[in-house]
Structure 1
Amino acid sequence: MTTPLILVFISLALSAFFSGLEIAFVSANRFEIELETKKGNIYYRLLSFAARKPSWFIAAMLVGNNIALVVFGLFMSDILDPSLNFLVGSPFALLLAQTLISTLIILLIAEFIPKSLFSSRPMEMLRVFALPAVAFYILFLPVVALIVGFSNFFLRVFFGEKGMESTPSFTLLDINKYVKEYTDTGQIKASEEHEIRIFRNALDLSTNKVRDFMVPRTEIIAMDIDEDLSRLKEIFTEHSVSKVLIFDDSIDHIVGYVHSFDLFAQPKSVKEVIRNIEFIPESMTAETLLRRMTQENQSILVVLDEYGVTAGMITLEDVVEEIFGEIDDEHDVEDLPEKIIEENHYLLSGRLEIDYLNDKYGLGIPSSESYSTLGGFITNYLERIPKDGEHAVIQDFDIKIIKSTDKFLQEVKLKKIIEKE
């Protein structure tokens, strides 16, 4: 085997190696790399070093790939020339033939095949080739630093951009992907299911909005500021709550709240024990809300919609329940109706949340930002609050209203329509 042929094979193999590593690194789950690194895996510890500057590692692979392709092009022409003697009279035809053949070989062997292979099993491939990958990364580091520095200077001077910045080792997307892949394996222990649910709920705090889990306006327990203290005591006793909102004239003008402990001070009027309360938009994320409530030592807030109208209220317990699930305490005394009448036929409270019903019964009720409960789903579709005894077919559901008020639905019978094949 001649030297040019050996160099062509080596350069082609290196090009395939660099192309594969590039796509594997982009496709890999950075969180899994960090997780395996913490476990002491030597190969992932090497990869973690490269993952600290993702753009630098990718640049190093591109540098290696380009060097390999240049070497391939230099020696491939020497190999092809003897086979293309019949085109020697036409330099353009000879160059065209060499370019087409070289391009086809590169695309097939150095691009398509390695990228398909490495992208299908990125973590495995990165682990297998971790040592040479990091070795080449360190080897090309001076060149990469020069390229990155020049690129950043060019982008900053001519486009006002910051250029390549160091990114986090892993993102929220990587964590979600890892959890999904782990749960999809079907090897989850019963003891782990609750922990995984809590973990997922914690991840969702950054995207869930206050409107998704607040106490809605129709369920707020409140009292007019001009009412007597005796009425306030009745409300505390009747509803078994520790806090009651106080409004002036209407629920849209909330002036504060009263804690049940304040009544031990024997106040003469409601105004003497009113505590200040703050307002937040319903579009605020659960993560921002939790941070605010803990930092500012707040336990209850009023939620406003985009028009400044009272949309609901939120407590610290509501936020905690978003992570850990329903918490039963001395104030949660009301059981919402929830009964299976027969297969695909249920008696349900209109206040039950859509996500809860879908998870427990697999109903497939469509979700929307316009509503979060079963009652909200029905009233949103009908564009009104139906009366007792009304019947409606909404998408795949046969619904009968059992009990309702002028403000919300209390009980409904829901039957999922199953089409016979």
Structure 2
Amino acid sequence: MDEPPSSWIPVSDDPLRDLVTRLLWVLLLLVINALFVAAEFSLVSVRRSRIVQLASEGNRSAQAVQRAQEQLRQFLSTMQACITMASLAMGWIGASQLAPVFAILLAQLPWALPVGSANLLVFLGLVYLQVLVGELIPKTLAIIYAEQTALSLMGVTSQLRWWLRPLVLLLDGSANLILRALRVPIPDSATLFNAVTAEELQLLIAATGESGSLEAEERELLTNVFEFGETVASEVMIPRTSIDAINETATVQDVLLAVADSGHSRYLVIGESLDDIRGLVHVKEVVAALGRGELSIETAINSFIRPAHFEYESKRVGELLSEMQQQHRAMVVIVDEFGGTAGLITIRDLVEEIVGRISDEVDADDEPDFQVVDERTTIIQAQVDLDDVNEKLLLALPIQDDYQTLGGFVIYQMQKIPQVGERFVYDNIEFTVMGIDGPRLDRIKMHILEPVATTES
């Protein structure tokens, strides 16, 4: 029988012993490959904020991880070079060292096999082990135990980065030349770590919400944060028709009566109309002066009027909230393109866009926005945004520039200001006007009709 080719691995007269020796070499290379894969995935999976915290506490392993994250491209290139060398070495052992020994063992079997069987079996076996032991298992463990894995392996990998630095620089330089020739931008480490877009984060929030990893309240809060930046003032303002204002000729008694009626802490002060805004008055200042005996209930409020601040209805609420915080403004008047009063916004309105409706003792007796009558019927406040109606009732009512609220949708569909009791049907949903407040709709009943049964002729 022919002897196997010369080998740097010692060859004995026992084929089985030679096979075990070469398998041990393969196993060693698999472990090395797995460690490099684990180091690579743990570094990109570990929470960067946690590493910064540990590094600031003096953890040397965390400091090594932090340095690797700051030079992420070089680190990934080093790991890829090591993984590639380990994989090629394992393939070399399989082709030149393991297959001949395996062929000797196959030749001793009582049944005959084709000459190339040993090479094919060794190839399939190595592919299986490489994917399972060298890739899938270490990758999964590194993602699950990212912090422990990164801290444990960074010492060894840091030394390798130093030894392989010339090779890595050569590889990176070659890759950069090719990318530049293809007009592809070369990302830096910061770009690699911030590669997740806002849209991808929103998809991730939706996916984790559906899987149950996030509670409904947590999912809604995160979604509101993303939507907040795209919202404009006209979408969240208190509309002109809902503004409670007092006249510039009002007295302290008029202010107290307004507080008893609506409970606000600030009121706009107007002249002839809401388009003639003279300023605003703080109830706290009026009550404090009244308590000190500096005025009577018949005193005019002129001396308490402060300047009002104005913003256009196209203003992004994210920018508006930041400005109101910096300039210590609790209320802003929203004007349209012609300078007329369109509505007003308070700090509370903006905060509620993120955290949801905030109710205090005064609000406890207010009617809820959604009052469920039965599984098919809901009574809704007409001022509720149509977006919220669609989300709450799982509907797809159309939204246009002409309206934003449920009441606006009803008026748009009926092409008039309806009276109490008037109704119409849209997309198998019956809308009934339950209440009005002057020209403004107050409550709308939505009833999902039973599907009409069709009979085949």
Aligned counterpart in structure 1 of residue 350 of structure 2, from 319, 322, 346: 319
Q: Counterpart in 2 of 1:67?
A: 85
CA contact (8 A) 1:246 1:256 kept: yes
With 73-82 and 273-282 compared, the bigger mean Cα shift is at 73-82
Aligned counterpart in structure 2 of residue 335 of structure 1, from 354, 366, 387: 366
Residue 393 to residue 296, structure 1, CA distance change in 2 (3 Å): same
CA contact (8 A) 1:345 1:413 kept: yes
Residue 185 to residue 276, structure 1, CA distance change in 2 (3 Å): closer
CA contact (8 A) 1:30 1:169 kept: no
Could you give the per-residue CA deviations for residues 326-347 of structure 1, whole angstroms, max 9, x where no partner exists? 3345875982365443343233
Q: Counterpart in 2 of 1:302?
A: 333
Q: Counterpart in 2 of 1:93?
A: none
Aligned counterpart in structure 1 of residue 231 of structure 2, from 192, 206, 209: 209
Q: Which has the higher contact order (CA 8 A, sep 6+)?
A: 1
Q: C-alpha displacement at 1:120, in angstroms?
A: 6.0
Aligned counterpart in structure 2 of residue 345 of structure 1, from 371, 377, 381: 377
Q: C-alpha displacement at 1:259, in angstroms?
A: 1.4
Q: C-alpha displacement at 1:299, in angstroms?
A: 1.5
* Percent identity between the two aligned chains: 19
Aligned counterpart in structure 2 of residue 291 of structure 1, from 300, 322, 328: 322
Pairs aligned (count): 394
Could you give the per-residue CA deviations for residues 182-226 of structure 1, whole angstroms, max 9, x where no partner exists? 9966898xxxx98x5896478447646244533234423457xxx
Q: Counterpart in 1 of 2:446?
A: 414
Residue 274 to residue 7, structure 1, CA distance change in 2 (3 Å): same
With 153-162 and 294-303 compared, the bigger mean Cα shift is at 153-162
Distance in 1 separating the partners of 2:341 and 2:314: 10
Distance in 1 separating the partners of 2:186 and 2:270: 51
Aligned counterpart in structure 2 of residue 403 of structure 1, from 422, 426, 435: 435
With 231-240 and 71-80 compared, the bigger mean Cα shift is at 231-240
Question: Which amino acid in structure 1 is aligned with residue 281 of structure 2?
Answer: H
Structure 2 gaps of 5+ residues are 1-17, 104-117, 290-294
With 11-20 and 303-312 compared, the bigger mean Cα shift is at 303-312
Q: C-alpha displacement at 1:410, in angstroms?
A: 1.0
Aligned counterpart in structure 1 of residue 426 of structure 2, from 394, 408, 420: 394
Q: C-alpha displacement at 1:279, in angstroms?
A: 0.9
CA contact (8 A) 2:46 2:150 kept: no
CA contact (8 A) 1:403 1:410 kept: yes
Question: Which amino acid in structure 2 is aligned with residue 401 of structure 1?
Answer: V
Q: Say whether 1:244 aligns with 2:244.
A: no
Q: C-alpha displacement at 1:314, in angstroms?
A: 1.3
The residue matched to 1:411 in structure 2 has which SS? strand
CA contact (8 A) 1:5 1:79 kept: no
CA contact (8 A) 2:208 2:214 kept: no
Question: Which amino acid in structure 2 is aligned with residue 350 of structure 1?
Answer: A
Question: Which of the pair has more CA radius of gyration?
Answer: 2
Q: Counterpart in 2 of 1:363?
A: 393
Q: Counterpart in 1 of 2:279?
A: 257
CA contact (8 A) 1:222 1:245 kept: yes
CA contact (8 A) 1:244 1:258 kept: yes
The residue matched to 1:209 in structure 2 has which SS? coil
Could you give the per-residue CA deviations for residues 167-187 of structure 1, whole angstroms, max 9, x where no partner exists? 697888779969985996689
Q: C-alpha displacement at 1:59, in angstroms?
A: 3.4
Q: C-alpha displacement at 1:105, in angstroms?
A: 6.7
With 108-117 and 62-71 compared, the bigger mean Cα shift is at 108-117
Q: Counterpart in 2 of 1:165?
A: 189
TM-score between both structures, scaled by the size of structure 2: 0.61
Q: Say whether 1:126 aligns with 2:146.
A: yes
The residue matched to 1:229 in structure 2 has which SS? coil
Q: Say whether 1:30 aligns with 2:47.
A: yes
Q: C-alpha displacement at 1:374, in angstroms?
A: 3.5
Residue 22 to residue 355, structure 1, CA distance change in 2 (3 Å): farther
Residue 72 to residue 120, structure 1, CA distance change in 2 (3 Å): closer
Residue 355 to residue 205, structure 1, CA distance change in 2 (3 Å): closer
Q: C-alpha displacement at 1:400, in angstroms?
A: 1.3
Distance in 1 separating the partners of 2:302 and 2:72: 64
Question: Which amino acid in structure 2 is aligned with residue 397 of structure 1?
Answer: I
Residue 34 to residue 232, structure 1, CA distance change in 2 (3 Å): farther
Residue 131 to residue 302, structure 1, CA distance change in 2 (3 Å): same
Structure 1 gaps of 5+ residues are 85-96
Q: C-alpha displacement at 1:295, in angstroms?
A: 1.2
Q: C-alpha displacement at 1:292, in angstroms?
A: 1.8
Aligned-residue CA RMSD in angstroms?
5.7
Q: Say whether 1:58 aligns with 2:76.
A: yes
Residue 355 to residue 117, structure 1, CA distance change in 2 (3 Å): farther
Q: C-alpha displacement at 1:315, in angstroms?
A: 0.8
Distance in 2 separating the partners of 1:267 and 1:148: 81
Q: C-alpha displacement at 1:318, in angstroms?
A: 1.6
Q: Counterpart in 2 of 1:90?
A: none
